[in-house]
């Protein structure tokens, strides 16, 4: 039996593979499914087995899994193409007879009412229909969704958004490392089959609070600039994002305004056995 991590050279995947090794899983039992072996040379150097496969090429997935494997399906990054990609992985996992399929979805699961959630909901349905033993890790927002883009914030002195400033407009984010640790706990633990975990950070924050934290740590004047959805789309496309992607992100801000990414279940901290990483720590790391 192996523990197989798909998308293993992505940000989350690398955290999971490292976490498995740090948790004492023998390297010989860890498999990284990657599209490019060269990008995974560091994983191979640690003794991890590499299997080359692509979500978009179902024929390459035939040898990615084996009977009895535990598999972490990390959701693809190509919004609009993820349902057929994920179905290809699910079909290959079922054909191989894997023992447990763990999927990284989105906070709220079937109740999530924003565009970015649609493909995750469809993937969860496909997994349920497959009959495979499953666990859904419904990840909330990552700190890094914001802190990895501090350069324009510092340049313009503004965090731009369209979530509004109502009491519900808060984000219960956590670090990628936190979410990866939850995946490691499920992949190495017992009793998680048939469960869906709603994962979020311990402390939810508002955009004005985030701007104030960046200002405090950077020593620069940073404010929250609330704009209309259309103005927000224009800002994002002006920064180089395709309009379709910009509109998905603006739709997420609308969901934040409705309180859809607050979280607060405490399940992430419970799974990882410690408090989640504070937003201030992520800001500090990004500024460094």
Per residue in 210-249, pLDDT (tens digit) is 999 999 999 999 999 999 999 999 999 999 999 999 999 9
Q: What is the pLDDT of residues 122-162, one digit of tens each?
A: 999 999 999 999 999 999 999 999 999 999 999 999 999 99
Above 90 in pLDDT, residue 280?
A: yes
Residues with Cβ within 8 Å of residue 31, at least 6 apart in sequence: 2, 3, 4, 5, 48, 49, 50, 51, 69
| Domains, the chain, with CATH or none | 3-139 (3.40.50.720), 144-170+202-263+276-287 (3.90.25.10)
Rounded to an integer, the average pLDDT of 162-170 is 95
Statement: the pTM of the whole predicted model exceeds 0.85: yes
Confidence class of residue 1 from pLDDT cuts 50, 70 and 90?
Answer: confident
How would residue 171 be classed by pLDDT, with cut points 50, 70 and 90? very high
6-32 tens-digit pLDDT: 999 999 999 999 999 999 999 999 999
| C-alpha to C-alpha distance for 9 and 16, rounded to whole angstroms | 10
Query: Which stretch of DSSP H or E encloses residue 279?
Result: helix 279-287
Q: Looking at residues 175-195, what average pLDDT do you find? A: 98
DSSP helix/strand/coil, 41: helix
The sign one gets for the Cα dihedral 157, 172, 4, 18 is: positive
Q: In the predicted model, is pLDDT for residue 47 greater than 90?
A: yes
pLDDT in tens, 72-105: 999 998 888 899 999 999 999 999 999 999 999 9
DSSP string, 43-87: HHHTT-EEEE-BTTBGGGGTTT--TT-EEEEEPPS-TTTHHHHHH
**For residue 48, pLDDT beyond 90:** yes
pLDDT of residue 14: 97
pLDDT at position 80, please? Answer: 82
Chain position carrying tokens 């279940």: 265
When pLDDT is averaged across residues 21-45 and rounded to a whole number, the result is: 96
**Per-residue pLDDT averaged across 42-66, rounded?**
95
Average pLDDT of the chain to the nearest whole number: 96
pLDDT at site 126 = 98
């Amino acid at each position: 039996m192996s523990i197989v991590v798909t998308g293993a050279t992505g940000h989350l995947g690398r955290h999971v593979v490292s976490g498995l090794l740090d948790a004492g899983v023998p390297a010989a039992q860890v498999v990284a499914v990657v599209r490019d072996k060269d990008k995974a040379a560091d994983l191979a150097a640690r003794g991890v087995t590499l299997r080359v496969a692509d979500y978009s090429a179902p024929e390459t997935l035939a040898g990615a899994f084996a009977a009895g494997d535990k598999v972490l399906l990390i959701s693809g990054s190509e919004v609009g193409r993820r349902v057929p990609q994920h179905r290809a992985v699910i079909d290959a996992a079922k054909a191989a007879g894997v023992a447990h399929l763990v999927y990284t979805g989105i906070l709220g699961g079937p109740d999530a009412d924003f565009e970015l959630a649609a493909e995750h909901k469809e993937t969860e349905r496909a997994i349920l229909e497959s009959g495979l033993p499953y666990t859904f890790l419904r990840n909330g927002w990552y700190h890094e969704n914001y802190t990895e883009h501090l350069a324009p914030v510092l340049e313009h002195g503004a965090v731009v958004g369209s979530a509004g400033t109502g009491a519900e407009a808060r984000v219960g984010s956590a670090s990628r490392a936190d979410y990866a640790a939850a995946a490691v706990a499920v992949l190495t633990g017992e009793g998680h089959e048939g469960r869906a975990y709603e994962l979020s950070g311990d402390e939810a924050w508002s955009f004005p609070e985030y701007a104030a934290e960046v200002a405090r740590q950077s020593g620069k004047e940073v404010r929250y600039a609330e704009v209309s959805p259309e103005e927000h789309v224009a800002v994002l496309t002006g920064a180089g994002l395709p309009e379709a992607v910009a509109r998905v992100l603006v739709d997420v801000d609308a969901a934040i305004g409705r309180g859809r990414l607050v979280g607060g279940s405490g399940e992430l901290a419970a799974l990882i056995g410690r408090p989640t990483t504070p937003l201030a720590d992520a800001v500090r790391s990004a500024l460094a």
